[in-house]
Structure 1
Amino acid sequence: MNDSAQEPLESPAEAVVAMVDHVLGLAATWTAWDGEPTHVDDRVYTPHKAIRRVADHLVDHLAELEARLVGERPQPDHWHASASTTAADLAPFTREDLDEARSRLTRLARMWANRLGALTEEQLDNSPGEGWSFRELALHLKGSTYYADAVGKLA
């Protein structure tokens, strides 16, 4: 197949927005959650935990990107990631929780899309500081669907 017939590669901004869209699509079914946590890869997942982990992942890496852009060393995170499940993670997932998740994650996705859209291709691929390029960082965030996929689509 020649290059002109191939679909264009997904932009980093599109990757983040698509990830959030996927998560929120699953979350729309979570008001039917029966309160039983899901066990995946030696971890426990619930609707609240999945939303928390996606939001934390977006915030953590956005803080890294912003620090690197201004020449600072990113602050290390001290979160326990998905290793801990809090009492709040075990709460029922209500329509109000879904509304908050939509608002929070949609705004975080827009922050990412706006920031990435303001960077040049050179900045995306040859990013300042240590670590992944900003393009790689955004594409890494696509993996955040893991948390939502662990809960899955509920009937």
Structure 2
Amino acid sequence: MSDEVPTTDDREPALVVVSMIDHVLGLAATWTSWDGRLMRVDERVYTPHKAIRRVADHLVDHLAEMEARLAGGSPIPDRWHASAATTPADLAPFTDQDLDEAGSRLTRLGRIWADRLTALSPDQLDWSSGEGWTFRQIAFHLAGSVYYADAVGDLSTVGSDH
């Protein structure tokens, strides 16, 4: 993922975030057939659990940033290990229960994002205190979280090359 200033367009920011989550969950629906092979992309390792963790962490991190800025405070610095770390939990099989939990977690986070972004005026969406991107840019940046799910890919064809 890139730290370049995100390009925006005329799509509703809430829809951008929710569409990203729909894409991630669409791929995740194929991950219960994961055979345990690690996916290597850009010198990093990805697994189904790690992809879900990274998407959720990214949503939480920027939500905390947005809420702190809207409240007039400073965001807590990001101390995630990001995709550089692969935890033992990331290596576990991805079960139907994991898919259900991921769906609940990401759908709820998507709803929080959609509610917050929809409540902001166009001026608020395009506002920045000078530190960080506008809230519209953050929403479009979050769309890049598909990267983590795309790194795992569509595993609906068992035995295919990933």
Q: TM-score range by the shorter chain?
A: over 0.9
* TM-score of the pair, normalised by structure 1: 0.93
Letter in structure 1 aligned against 2:55: V
Letter in structure 1 aligned against 2:84: A
CA distance in 1, matches of 2:65, 2:46: 26
CA offset digits 1:62-109 (Å, max 9, x no partner)? 000000001111000211100000000000000000000000000000
Cα distance, 1:117 vs structure 2: 0.4
Match of 2:131, SS state, is coil
CA distance in 2, matches of 1:145, 1:116: 19
* Contact 1:13 1:113 (8 Å CA) reproduced: yes
The answer on 1:9 being equivalent to 2:10 is yes
For 2:43, the equivalent position in structure 1 comes to 42
Match of 1:9, SS state, is coil
CA offset digits 1:31-62 (Å, max 9, x no partner)? 00000110000000000000000000000000
What is the root-mean-square deviation of aligned Cα atoms in Å?
Answer: 1.0
Match of 2:60, SS state, is helix
The gaps in structure 2 that reach 5 residues or longer are 1-8, 158-162
For 1:3, the equivalent position in structure 2 comes to none
CA offset digits 1:112-147 (Å, max 9, x no partner)? 000000000000001345100000000000000000
Which range moves more in the overlay, 44-53 or 9-18? 9-18
CA distance in 2, matches of 1:115, 1:83: 30
For 2:80, the equivalent position in structure 1 comes to 79
Match of 2:40, SS state, is strand
For 2:145, the equivalent position in structure 1 comes to 144
Letter in structure 1 aligned against 2:32: T
CA distance in 2, matches of 1:112, 1:104: 12
Aligned length: 148
For 1:61, the equivalent position in structure 2 comes to 62
For 1:4, the equivalent position in structure 2 comes to none
Q: Percent identity?
A: 72
For 2:101, the equivalent position in structure 1 comes to 100
CA distance in 2, matches of 1:65, 1:48: 26
Match of 2:142, SS state, is helix
For 1:21, the equivalent position in structure 2 comes to 22
The gaps in structure 1 that reach 5 residues or longer are 1-7
Structure 1 runs (4+) deviating above 4 angstroms are: none
